[in-house]
Structure 1
Amino acid sequence: MYTLKKSLGQHFLKDENMCRKIVEALPVIQGQQVLEVGPGAGAITKYLLQLPGIDFKAVELDTEKVQYLEKTYPEIQGKLINQSFLDMPPPFEGPFSVIGNFPYNISTQIMFRVLEWKDQVPQVVGMFQKEVAQRIAASHGNKDYGILSVLMQAWYRVEYLFEVHEQCFMPPPKVKSSVIRCTRLEQQYDIANERKFFNLVKTAFNQRRKQLRNPLKPLFDKEYLQDSLFTKRAEELTVADFVALSHKMI
């Protein structure tokens, strides 16, 4: 068998209906490349391996789980990458979808990695701690709306799909879980300079309770800072507002 490693945030799904539901949330077409992040003991892996006509790979840091998967699912031979998702290069040439019951302790970093690869990743289906899922999906004006909300929604349409009960896991986690789907926007925002845009969003939310004029002072001309927009707080701005603001930065 295998052991659960708390240090890797391992809580394995045991509810078969939920496993199928997560896999069904990923629209697949013939020839599609799919990467599973953190297959663990193979709860959703076994259903992904049954999908016809896809090019499948999985990345798993835990060597013990890699050995378990290769022994339990012989058809996965040659498809497993024994590495951290955060350290690996893109696993495919061309576009690939990402799916997984993401390790909760690195789930936010996983999404920042997806953003680095956004030109290659048209779709993500992931299970997160509920609060993280809510944060990614939150709209402006919502207390959960923050850096990750704006950055993900600048390139993806985010759908909050469903929640997963603690008893669906072994061992049951002490937190609630939710599944979201991110689909790359067909009509992209006009982001002229990604580095400036990232800096703007992070700087604005670093002092989220203050009017934007305070944290953003170093990024804009003094005259432009008189605009009424700067009397708002970061969570009041839409993604489109942030994009428009990024064009006015020094």
Structure 2
Amino acid sequence: MSFVKPKKGLGQHFLTDQNIARKIVDSLGSDVPDILEIGPGMGVLTQYLLQRPELNVHVIEIDRESVAYLQQHFPTLQHIWSEDFLKADVAGRFDGKFNVIGNFPYNISSQIFFRVLAWRNRIPETVGMVQKEVAERIAASNGSKVYGILSVLLQAFFDIEYLFTVSENVFNPPPKVKSAVIRLRRNQVETLPCNENLFIQVVKAAFNQRRKMLRNSLKDLCEALPAEFAEKRPEQLSVSDFIRLTGMIENLKNNKA
């Protein structure tokens, strides 16, 4: 097998530029040896990962044709999982920490980041190529129009770096949008100083009705929102503001109980 046909249903756009592939792999700087590549396709990143002797490379690929290609062309690649990343118990297969890298399929990139978030204490670093607007959203600061749920939840636990933009012309087939590479590095926050489940609820409820003031979007979680937040909209709040607001709502709930 000399070629894998990209499958639209799997959101496959194979990177063809070797320099960009090498640059993505070089962006991975953590000293954790175990690395998981999501959706390797024909191995454009895999080849450079395998050139780094300090890495123990694992790949997970849902496309069986790609799996067959990888087995044929990368005989030294010992860990190939022919599975759906969104359904597999990936974290359970590593004894300790592991990093994540990949040209993430556009149609599931947000879901991938939510899984990284869930396994945040196991994943020190993630380097991923995604749709440019998703990368901008993840890296956005409060006040930005694209600041949202992913921005707040990921920035609470990771330092985010927007590394570089990638043209649509270096893919087969070319996507209709530009791409970007971002890097997430686990910060020093072990646990938030508030109820983390409530924090997620507050952030999601606020941005699900982002045009409304918080006193309206959060009324199901808190009947009388603290005055300093009541008239604000979610994009005006920093990550630390959301943490503080969650703590206030938690105290109000406890006092009411």
What's the TM-score, normalizing by structure 2? 0.92
Quote the residue 1:19 is aligned against: 21
Structure 1's 191 and 9: CA in aligned 2 closer, same or farther, altered over 3 A? farther
Find the counterpart in structure 1 of residue 42 from structure 2: 41
Q: Is the 8 A contact 1:59 1:81 kept in 2?
A: yes
- Within the alignment, does 1:124 sit opposite 2:126 as a pair? yes
Structure 2: runs of 5+ lacking an equivalent: none
For residues 200-238 of structure 1, give each alpha carbon's deviation from its aligned partner in whole angstroms, at most 9, with x where no partner exists: 00001111111101011222252xx25122111000000
Equivalent residue runs for 1:80-95 within 5 Å: 80-89=80-89, 90=91, 91-95=93-97
For residues 120-160 of structure 1, give each alpha carbon's deviation from its aligned partner in whole angstroms, at most 9, with x where no partner exists: 01110000000111010000000000001000001001000
- Aligned counterpart, 1:198: 200
Q: Which residue of structure 1 lines up, in the alignment, with residue 248 of structure 2? A: 248
Deviations along 1:12-58, whole A, 9 cap, x unmatched? 011010000000100042x6111000000101110001111222101
Among 152, 168, 172, the alignment partner of 1:170 is: 172
User: Using the alignment, how far apart are the partners of 1:167 and 1:226 within structure 2?
Assistant: 50
- Output the aligned Cα RMSD: 1.3
- SS in structure 2 opposite 1:163? strand
Segment drifting more, 189-198 vs 15-24 = 189-198
Preserved CA contact (<8 Å) 1:189 1:243: no
Q: CA deviation at 1:188?
A: 4.8
Q: Tell me the residue number matched to 2:71.
A: 70
The alignment status of 1:158 with 2:142, answered yes or no, reads no
Would you say the 8 A contact 2:103–2:130 is kept in 1? Answer: yes
- Equivalents in 2 of 1:83, 1:140: separation in Å? 37
How much has 1:170 moved relative to structure 2? Answer: 1.1
Contact 1:154 1:189 in 2 (8 A): no
Q: 1:135 aligns with which of 137, 148, 162?
A: 137
Query: In the aligned structure 1, how far is the partner of 2:67 from the partner of 2:236?
Result: 45
Structure 1 residue runs of 5 or longer lacking an equivalent are none
Q: Is the contact made by 1:107 and 1:128 (CA closer than 8 Å) also made in structure 2?
A: yes
**Matched AA of 2:247:** H
Deviations 1:54-88 (A, max 9, x none): 22101000011000011011111x31110011011
Q: Which amino acid aligns with 1:216?
A: L
Comparing 180-189 with 105-114, greater Cα deviation is found at: 180-189
Aligned with 1:214 (options 210, 213, 216): 216
Cα 1:88–1:191 shift into 2, 3 Å: farther
The Cα of 1:189 is off from its aligned counterpart by 6.1
Secondary structure of 1:98 counterpart: strand
Counterpart of 1:105 (choices 97, 104, 107) is 107
Q: Distance in 2 between matches of 1:245 and 1:228?
A: 9
Equivalent-residue separation in structure 2 for 1:192 and 1:95 (angstroms): 25
| Helix, strand or coil at the partner of 2:21 | helix
Verify the 8 A CA contact 1:220 1:248 in the aligned structure 2. no
Off by >6 Å, runs of 4+ in structure 1? none
